[in-house]
Each structure stands twice: as structure tokens, then as C-alpha cells.
Amino acid sequence: MIKRVAILSLVVLVAMISNSYADDNLAAPEAEKAPADTEQLPPGVSIIGDQQPVPSNSEELEQLVGGGNIIPTARNSFRWRFSYPFRGGIRYGWRYPIRYWNTFGRKLFGTNCRFGRPWGGYFYC
């Protein structure tokens, strides 16, 4: 009996750990807009332009023009363009809500993000 309880506990523990991701921002957002202060941004990063809807599947991701539709599962459903300094120049990337990244982004992009850092409820890719 003790062996069964121990094995069941280990299976439940492994299932819980395998479903953990980066820290989700569970609080409801007040407004979907880029932050005005630099405290929410990693050092050296600056937001460029306006928000765009995040692509909800790989077919929309491949269209390169026009963005994508609002995904039904996320509260924050917009991405922002950002720039960061790199070897004396500037590189550009996209800032996604962490909930979107955990659900869709990791499957679509894998490890192909140059910046690739979670920061303040967003993932910078």
C-alpha cells in the first residue's frame, strides 16, 4: 500500500512540474498598451510602434504581412515591436504576453529567439 501511495505521489509531482512555465501574470490587465515607464522593460530595450494582434497559429505566422487574429484564450492579445542594442548596432524583436508565449509561442518558435528573455509578464523574442 505504501509503495502505491509513493508512486502515485511521484507521478502527480512529475505531472505538476512538467506543466509549470514561466511566471504568468494572472492579474487582469488594466489596459492593453505599451508601458510608458522603463521599469517594465529589460535594460537597453525600447518599445517601437503600436501594438499588433498576435498570430494564433503557424499559418498566420507565415503570412508576414497583416499580423494575425486575436487569440481566444488570452487576456492580453497584442504584441509589440522592440529594439535592443547588440554589438554596437540595434536588433529588433517582438514582445509577447507571457500567457500567449507559454501557450503558443514556445511551440511555434522553439529556441529560435535571439533575445529570448521573460521580463515583467512578457516574453521578449
Arithmetic mean of pLDDT over the chain: 62
Residue indicated by cell numbers 504576453: 97
pLDDT of residue 90: 67
pLDDT of residue 5: 82
The cell for 114 is 535571439
Quote the DSSP letter at residue 66: S
Q: What is the mean pLDDT of each run of 10 residues along the chain (125 residues)?
A: 83 69 50 50 64 54 42 50 66 72 71 70 74
Burial of 43 (0-12, 13-18, 19+ CB in 10 A): exposed
pLDDT of residue 78: 63
Element (H, E) at 95: strand 89-97
Helix H, strand E, coil C: the string for 7-57 is HHHHHHHHHHHHCCCCCCCCCCCCCCCCCCCHHHCCCCCEEEEEEEECCCC
pLDDT of residue 56: 55
pLDDT of residue 42: 65
- pTM score, two decimals? 0.40
